Structure 1
Amino acid sequence: MTLSTSSQQPLALPADLPALDKVLHKPELTPAINQHGLTLVTQQLRLLLAQLRTRVLQQQLTTADVDPAYIIAQLIERLNALTASKLKTVINLTGTVLHTNLGRALLPDCAVEAVTQVLTQPTNLEFDLASGKRGDRDSLIEELICELTGAEAATVVNNNAAAVLLMLNALASQKEVIVSRGELVEIGGSFRIPDIMSSAGSKLVEVGTTNRTHYADYDRAINEHTAMLMKVHCSNYAVVGFTKETDLSELVKLGQQHQVPVTVDLGSGTLVDLAQWGLPHEPTVKEIVDAGVDLVTFSGDKLLGGPQAGFIVGRKSLIEIIKKHPLKRALRVGKLTMAALESVLSLYRSPELLPERLTTLRLLTRPQAEIQQQAERLQSSLQLAVGGDYQVSCAPMHSQIGSGAMPIESLPSFGLVVHYAGSDKAGRQIMQLERWLRNQSQPIIGRIHKNAIYLDCRCLTAQQASLLQETWSATRL
């Protein structure tokens, strides 16, 4: 707390501190009590008065600093900070469409409406309306998932890591799972495939090398303890050059020959061929299922464009075992996720309408010219806000799909680049600007590259652009 007046004011004495009840009964505090409740206001006021008393005893405050009106102002500021939501909406100008740290896929309007509806009313989440008996929540979307993927059966849990964990624990606990060394990936947060294997009680058997794994490597590793042949889609990196991986059809034949299930952790969750919209081809779930794989796991909040979820689809007999496992209940999803999933999955029944209805696909296919126009409209207002020490220019740039999808692919985009034009060290000044953007009432998240801030406008909505123009026109760094 800073002094409210100059040091010419007399120093406050402990007796100058107002009593708690006196402050509580001030009419200026009534709106705060109505908003936050008497209990919280009293608690925070007591803490504030205790801190003020300590500073008074240390002769750090004047009489003006312990005036009831000034104390109430400090209290209201404290209450607002305390009760403000820690989960804030941000403006994503990073250029990464599916940004793990920013919540990945944005839900389309239909999913938001579906979630809102089940938030306020009872639902048949686990109630079979036909029989009047307890139902299975998976049944709400299982038929739809199977229709879109060609799988015999399906189940859903809270994310793809959970799907892999459940699959391994249910089918390969205390048994061996064969995986190529080149597919022992680490995903965000230092979460690694070997760690999931260990947590599931499975024994990892590595075959091949980092860049080359042959059919014979799998064949030699199979024995009476083998529970599964597993392939992991390397969705967050790529090995190029002198490489070799066993074709999936060969691996399926090998699994059938030894009666060992073949599973694929696909990760990204693509349900349609993205190449039809000019995007790079990514293996679809249906392609993997049609190849004869026994089980496929994938995410709901990546290229699928839905809420956080993990799917396991494939052979019905294996899905039934998985659904009966105790971990399934611990990892199941709630009614909000189910409502959003059903709504998003339903969009895939009309694939020709996906670019306009599915938010993720709309952002991925947004024309560069449209993004450029948006950046150019914002350039002058940002220049005004940052002042003459910085130079703001419009420039072409490349967006990323993100979140473990197409790691080496990029999308032509456009945005603003801010360089420091002053005489001080550029790096320090750019960091200061980045903090300023990040600390706005609605945080603005860009990326720093070579002592410049890049603000990619691919994910910027029209409403957000208007807000930025208004904010930058009225504020100064």
Structure 2
Amino acid sequence: MDPRRRIPRTDDLLRMPAVEAAREVLSEQVIRSHLQSVQESARAGEIAPEAVADTLAQKLSQAPATSLTPVINATGVIIHTNIGRAPLSDAATAALTKAAGYVDVEMDLATGLRSRERGAGATRALLAACPGAEDALVVNNGAAALLLATTALADGGEVIISRGELIEIGAGFRLPELIESTDVRLREVGATNRTHLADYAAAITSRTRALLKVHPSNFRMEGFTAEATVAQLRGLADEHDLPLIVDLGSGLLTNDSALPEEPDVSAQLAEGADVVIASGDKLLGGPQAGILLGSAAIIERLRKHPLARALRIDKLRLAALEATVNAKETPVHQALHVDPETLRGRTVTLAAAVGGRVVEHVGRVGGGGAPGFPLPGWAVELPAELAERLRAGDPVVLPRVHQGVCLIDLRCVPASLDSEVAAAILRARGAA
């Protein structure tokens, strides 16, 4: 008899106690998807028909509610875009969980009426951390913040920008295309490597609505270069009554001694920017968010623009952002300021445990922050073939593969996880 005839019927499987228990946490379509997958495995001869029920029960008991897989970042890149950029602090994670239920995001509890103070807590936290700003607005990401600023301030007109700042970031995303997706046109001035204040001045016409300066977050230009400063552009903007927009990107609110050359929001505001744009999930170390800090008049124009509604941020990230700004420090800050001797000691201990070799390794900020700026440190060097096994393990350990070797950098790994990393490496070695 064809063994496939012994595969349990769908109705019988759906009445299993394991399926009933799974219905407490999984939807019916998810359960049926797992059921069909197991039946297909039996039809293909991958499992015996008699193993279908037990295999289904095991799958359902282990089925996650999300397909996202936690990763231990052992690359040495702090803000790694491919694995979600900045990890949240404990305070931000707790705030996000607290906001998952009903919260007074748009309600005045004293009156029981709708409030217009959505995001007020995050705004207060940002203004306290960046006193140079008069007001703040938060939208769903950095690109949205730039789109809102240019659209609200230059709709139907032109924005002047240096050719050296027409940047493309990850996945082929080009800022000029974003800006010109609305009724705004860019007026490119200067040369790729040198743009002077006079270039901006010569380009101003009756159609000019704003000046835009963009931090080239993913690259550096060296050699025969020149650029107009924010202070210089402020004077020109005042002469022609134009707003000055600065897209900083990296999310550094104030100067950080670990990154002496990285521009910060406070400095740009002090030099005269009307509005500065930054990302929440980069050097700030919080959730994905587009932060706009600047003059009260400009922020109010942005807040009232119809596009602001389409780009607004949700309650979960508002809560996490407020907690991030108010917290003492974040995992990003810890990784950036890790004690060199402590890091070396942990690396030596790991190498001894797994049979690796300690080598010098330069970490990076990543995510468009401090491009090219080195973060000296150490890593455990292992055979390159272990990288694939580590990425397929449980937990997943993401190493760096460089020049034919697998490197484990503990800069971004909490010390409490060192033993898990060691165990994962030993399992990967044992699978050889």
Same fold (TM over 0.5): yes
- Partner of residue 207 from structure 1, selected from 178, 184, 189: 189
Opposite residue 12 of structure 1, the aligned amino acid is: D
After TM superposition, give the deviation of residue 117 of structure 1 in Å.
2.1
Cα–Cα, structure 1 residues 307 and 19, in superposed 2: closer, same or farther, change >3 Å? closer
Opposite residue 65 of structure 1, the aligned amino acid is: A
After TM superposition, give the deviation of residue 84 of structure 1 in Å.
5.7
Q: Show the counterpart of 1:371.
A: 343
After TM superposition, give the deviation of residue 51 of structure 1 in Å.
6.4
After TM superposition, give the deviation of residue 112 of structure 1 in Å.
2.0
Q: Show the counterpart of 2:296.
A: 316
Q: Does the aligned pair in 2 maintain the 1:166–1:200 contact within 8 Å?
A: no
How far does the alpha carbon of each residue in 1:424-471 deviate from its partner, in whole angstroms, 9 at most, with x for none? xxxxxx3x4222110011211112111111111111112211112334
- Partner of residue 118 from structure 2, selected from 113, 137, 142: 137
- SS state at 2:48 partner: helix
Cα–Cα, structure 1 residues 418 and 255, in superposed 2: closer, same or farther, change >3 Å? same
Q: Show the counterpart of 1:66.
A: 49
- 1:189 matched to 2:161? The reply is no
In 1, Cα distance between equivalents of 2:111 and 2:7: 69
In 2, Cα distance between equivalents of 1:412 and 1:243: 28
After TM superposition, give the deviation of residue 274 of structure 1 in Å.
0.8
Q: Show the counterpart of 1:3.
A: none
Q: Show the counterpart of 1:271.
A: 253
In 1, Cα distance between equivalents of 2:39 and 2:119: 54
- SS state at 1:119 partner: coil
Q: Show the counterpart of 1:433.
A: 386
- Partner of residue 291 from structure 1, selected from 247, 261, 271: 271
Q: Show the counterpart of 2:228.
A: 246
In 2, Cα distance between equivalents of 1:128 and 1:451: 60
After TM superposition, give the deviation of residue 412 of structure 1 in Å.
1.1
The gaps in structure 2 that reach 5 residues or longer are none
- Partner of residue 203 from structure 2, selected from 221, 226, 237: 221
In 2, Cα distance between equivalents of 1:118 and 1:338: 9
- SS state at 2:68 partner: coil
- 1:454 matched to 2:392? The reply is no
- SS state at 1:343 partner: helix
Cα–Cα, structure 1 residues 215 and 86, in superposed 2: closer, same or farther, change >3 Å? same
Q: Does the aligned pair in 1 maintain the 2:289–2:313 contact within 8 Å?
A: yes
How far does the alpha carbon of each residue in 1:346-371 deviate from its partner, in whole angstroms, 9 at most, with x for none? 24xxxxxx5xx332111101022211
In 1, Cα distance between equivalents of 2:37 and 2:364: 48
Cα–Cα, structure 1 residues 346 and 23, in superposed 2: closer, same or farther, change >3 Å? closer
Opposite residue 373 of structure 1, the aligned amino acid is: G
After TM superposition, give the deviation of residue 50 of structure 1 in Å.
6.2
- 1:153 matched to 2:135? The reply is yes
After TM superposition, give the deviation of residue 201 of structure 1 in Å.
2.3
Q: Does the aligned pair in 1 maintain the 2:280–2:291 contact within 8 Å?
A: yes
- Partner of residue 173 from structure 1, selected from 155, 178, 183: 155
In 1, Cα distance between equivalents of 2:144 and 2:291: 9
- 1:35 matched to 2:18? The reply is no
Opposite residue 75 of structure 1, the aligned amino acid is: L
Q: Which has the larger radius of gyration?
A: 1
- Partner of residue 90 from structure 1, selected from 71, 96, 99: 71
Opposite residue 392 of structure 2, the aligned amino acid is: N
Q: Does the aligned pair in 1 maintain the 2:122–2:319 contact within 8 Å?
A: no
TM-score, normalized by length of structure 1? 0.83
After TM superposition, give the deviation of residue 409 of structure 1 in Å.
0.5
- Where do 1:310-389 residues align within 5 Å? 310-347=290-327, 354=328, 357-383=329-355
More displaced stretch, 167-176 vs 338-347: 338-347
Q: Does the aligned pair in 1 maintain the 2:390–2:425 contact within 8 Å?
A: no
Cα–Cα, structure 1 residues 186 and 23, in superposed 2: closer, same or farther, change >3 Å? closer
- SS state at 2:372 partner: coil
Q: Does the aligned pair in 2 maintain the 1:415–1:456 contact within 8 Å?
A: yes
- 1:401 matched to 2:365? The reply is yes
In 2, Cα distance between equivalents of 1:95 and 1:465: 14
- SS state at 1:199 partner: coil
How far does the alpha carbon of each residue in 1:142-196 deviate from its partner, in whole angstroms, 9 at most, with x for none? 2332333211221110111110001111111221010000111112222111111
Q: Does the aligned pair in 1 maintain the 2:7–2:52 contact within 8 Å?
A: no
In 1, Cα distance between equivalents of 2:416 and 2:215: 37
Q: Does the aligned pair in 2 maintain the 1:12–1:66 contact within 8 Å?
A: no
Cα–Cα, structure 1 residues 334 and 254, in superposed 2: closer, same or farther, change >3 Å? same
After TM superposition, give the deviation of residue 324 of structure 1 in Å.
1.2
Fraction of identical pairs, as percent: 36
- SS state at 1:274 partner: coil
Aligned residues: 425
In 1, Cα distance between equivalents of 2:66 and 2:119: 32
- 1:414 matched to 2:340? The reply is no
How far does the alpha carbon of each residue in 1:14-46 deviate from its partner, in whole angstroms, 9 at most, with x for none? 544444455556xxx423431246945566445
Opposite residue 228 of structure 1, the aligned amino acid is: A
In 2, Cα distance between equivalents of 1:231 and 1:22: 65
More displaced stretch, 365-374 vs 39-48: 39-48
Q: Does the aligned pair in 2 maintain the 1:168–1:200 contact within 8 Å?
A: no
- SS state at 1:75 partner: helix
After TM superposition, give the deviation of residue 86 of structure 1 in Å.
1.2
- SS state at 1:464 partner: helix
Q: Does the aligned pair in 1 maintain the 2:343–2:411 contact within 8 Å?
A: yes
In 1, Cα distance between equivalents of 2:248 and 2:137: 15
Q: Does the aligned pair in 2 maintain the 1:33–1:41 contact within 8 Å?
A: no
- SS state at 1:265 partner: strand
Opposite residue 466 of structure 1, the aligned amino acid is: S
Q: Does the aligned pair in 2 maintain the 1:274–1:281 contact within 8 Å?
A: no
Opposite residue 170 of structure 2, the aligned amino acid is: G
Q: Show the counterpart of 1:387.
A: none
Opposite residue 404 of structure 1, the aligned amino acid is: G
Q: Does the aligned pair in 2 maintain the 1:148–1:286 contact within 8 Å?
A: no
Report the RMSD for the aligned CA atoms in angstroms: 2.4
Q: Does the aligned pair in 2 maintain the 1:271–1:284 contact within 8 Å?
A: yes
Opposite residue 297 of structure 1, the aligned amino acid is: I
Opposite residue 173 of structure 2, the aligned amino acid is: F
In 2, Cα distance between equivalents of 1:113 and 1:18: 44
